Chains A and B, each alone.
Chain A
């Protein structure tokens, strides 16, 4: 497992500002080719190839296009974007501006979750400064700040657009995808905070250097948020494609029994599978959350916490998610109390599969990930 220093690296010779100046002299197509060549995939969790997303949006014919930075980080166990926003905001601004240049947009937005409003004191003056710099360069582009108001589901891209448009944060049907109809139903690139920083760094150092990290399926590195039962919780940039056991050796407290990879909506990996689990797009992909549980923790409590979370954060728009979340929570409580037989868990698992197939957005579709992976691996703890 290799520690990497790209995201937070401060390079006096190659500042974000000089990277932007240099990049704006290149052709948009060349930048897209570099991004595709780098193999960069979205770092918010879904992992869509960034270069392709930009290419699709560039190819749309429209007078108005937008770039949006998704800073609505809300996945339990994830706190890397807050750290990036706080420490290297200029790298994010540069990523947004480069995107604006490539796709032909005049406006960029950062949608910041309300829980991070305290960051604005630092961010806003830096953003003003950056917008002034863009003006000086003669580049007709401006970045604005938008605040959320406390809704996990607004991290889902189409819900985020709805929220920016002054509506309830309810996800839209897809297609159309944001590249065709996003914010204000115009072609929009929406990228995670970390993805945009990697874009500016790839533009600075070239795709080859980025590609030298990671594996064929998971190029580059990734910022991980490590929490739970670990002596060294915090933010770590690590090479993708690492075996989970190496991670546990480095960060565990010697007694790790399970790792929740990818936050509440991710997967629970038990100790016996540490050796053959890869963290990356070829194994378990993650938005960066790595939560470690040692043998003192009850996995029933962990699952109960997650289900309570989803119950509260489900937007309530579609029935599979709204009712499904409630029934999964009620169901494990009933099994625990002995009101339902252990075999009821199988019925609940079928419900989780239904949610995956029928829910409208990623929230409802992914509740089954923690549910089934915890039930399958820690059945006794759920029942007794």
Chain B
């Protein structure tokens, strides 16, 4: 049994074999593997006795359930109005320059994916970004790059 199949099996055991467990199972796979591979989706469909199309259809609805390969660290910069007014463009450009990718892309070494996100709920402290589950408010371009560099050093 592959690592992914094993993970899916464990998640289904933990959350139960019902349709209501689909979200926690999908979320669990994304937590470990950063995205839902074809193998993961098929394996979830088998374990929960759903059609693969149904599982893919559900996953692809949600922006945090990626179905394309993502980097080890996912950076989401808020692009909605308040953060826009406070300079999210400059922050995104600085990160793009530092990682040498455009928003929406993943670095060659698969360490980072840079995405934009709709309102992250920090409108009084923009610009703001999420790195994985950690939140970084009141960014400047320089501060954002420093945070990214810290993550780069971690591995």
A contact residues vs B (CB 8 Å cutoff): 73-79, 81-82, 113-118, 146-152, 163-170, 184, 225-229, 233-235, 264, 289, 291, 297, 301-302, 305-306, 309, 312-313, 315
Picked from B24, B61, B63, the residue with its CB within 8 Å of the CB of A168 is: B61
5 nearest A-B pairs in the assembled complex, by CB-CB distance: A166-B22, A233-B124, A149-B62, A150-B64, A150-B63
B26 within 8 A of A: yes
| Measured CA separation A77–B126 after assembly (Å) | 11
With both chains docked as a complex, state the minimum distance between the C-beta of A306 and any C-beta of chain B, in angstroms.
Answer: 7
Give every chain B residue within 8 A of A76 (Cβ-Cβ): 80-82, 118-119, 123
Q: Is the Cβ of B82 less than 8 Å from the Cβ of A150?
A: no
Residue of B at shortest CB range from A296?
Answer: B85
CB distance from A381 to the nearest CB of B (A): 15
**Contact at A309–B85, with CB atoms within 8 Å?**
no
Pick out which of these stretches binds chain A: B2-10, B105-113, B129-137, B144-152: B129-137
Which of A115, A170, A309 has the most B CB atoms < 10 Å from its CB?
Answer: A115
| In the complex, residue of chain B having the shortest beta-carbon distance to the beta carbon of A310 | B118
Q: Which residue of B lies closest to A260 (CB)?
A: B81
A77 contacts which chain B residues (CB < 8 A)? Answer: 81-82, 119, 123
Pick from B24, B64, B80, B122: contact of A114, CB below 8 A: B64
Contact A149 B26 (CB under 8 A): yes
When the two chains form their complex, are residues A228 and B133 in contact, meaning their CB atoms are under 8 A apart? no
Given contacts A115-B130, A227-B82, A309-B80, 9 further A-B contacts (CB under 8 A): A75-B119, A77-B82, A79-B121, A114-B27, A149-B63, A167-B58, A225-B124, A305-B81, A315-B61
Q: A76-B80, A117-B133 are in contact. Are A225 and B118 (CB under 8 A)?
A: no
CB-CB under 8 A from A234, the residues of chain B are: 124
0/1 per residue, B76-119, Cβ < 8 Å to A? 00001110110000000000000000000000000000000111
Return 13 A-B CB contacts under 8 Å, by A number.
Answer: A73-B121, A74-B121, A77-B81, A78-B119, A150-B62, A164-B23, A167-B22, A167-B58, A168-B57, A184-B20, A264-B81, A301-B84, A309-B80
Q: Is B19 an interface residue (CB 8 A)?
A: yes
B122 touches A166 (CB 8 A): no
Residue of A nearest to B22 (CB): A166
Number of B residues whose C-beta is below 8 Å from A? 35
Q: Shortest Cβ distance from B113 into chain A, in angstroms?
A: 14
Which residues in window 22-62 of B have CB below 8 A to A? 22-24, 26-27, 57-58, 61-62
A149 and B64 within 8 A (CB) = yes
CB distance from A166 to the nearest CB of B (A): 3
A-chain residues with CB within 8 Å of residue B85 when the two chains form the complex: 228-229, 297
Contact (Cβ within 8 A) B121 A166: no
B125 within 8 A of A: yes
Residues of A within 8 A of B130 (CB): 115
Taking A115-B117, A118-B134, A228-B82 as contacts, is the C-beta distance between A151 and B62 under 8 angstroms? yes
CA distance A309 to B123 in the complex (A): 15
Contact at A166–B118, with CB atoms within 8 Å? Answer: no
A150 to B74, CA, bound (A): 14
| A305 and B84 form a contact (CB under 8 A) | yes
Residue from B20, B24, B61 having most chain A Cβ neighbours under 10 A: B61
- Is there an interface contact between A169 and B20, defined as CB atoms closer than 8 Å? no
Q: Is the CB–CB distance between A227 and B124 below 8 Å?
A: yes
Contacts of A82 in B (CB 8 A): 121-122
Residues of B within 8 A of A229 (CB): 85
> Do B121 and A147 touch (CB < 8 A)?
no
For the complex, give the distance between the alpha carbons of A164 and B133 in Å.
21
**For the complex, is B67 an interface residue (Cβ under 8 Å from A)?**
no
**Cβ contact within 8 Å between A149 and B125:** no
Q: Which of B24, B84, B117, B133 is most buried by chain A, counting CB atoms within 10 A of its CB?
A: B133
A146–B120 Cα distance when bound, in Å, is 18
Q: Which residues of B contact A301 (CB under 8 A)?
A: 84
The answer to whether residues A79 and B118 also contact, given A147-B27, A264-B81 and a CB cut-off of 8 A, is no
**B25, closest chain A residue (CB):** A166
Q: Which residues of A contact B64 (CB under 8 A)?
A: 114, 148-150
* Closest beta carbon of chain B to A49's beta carbon, Å: 27
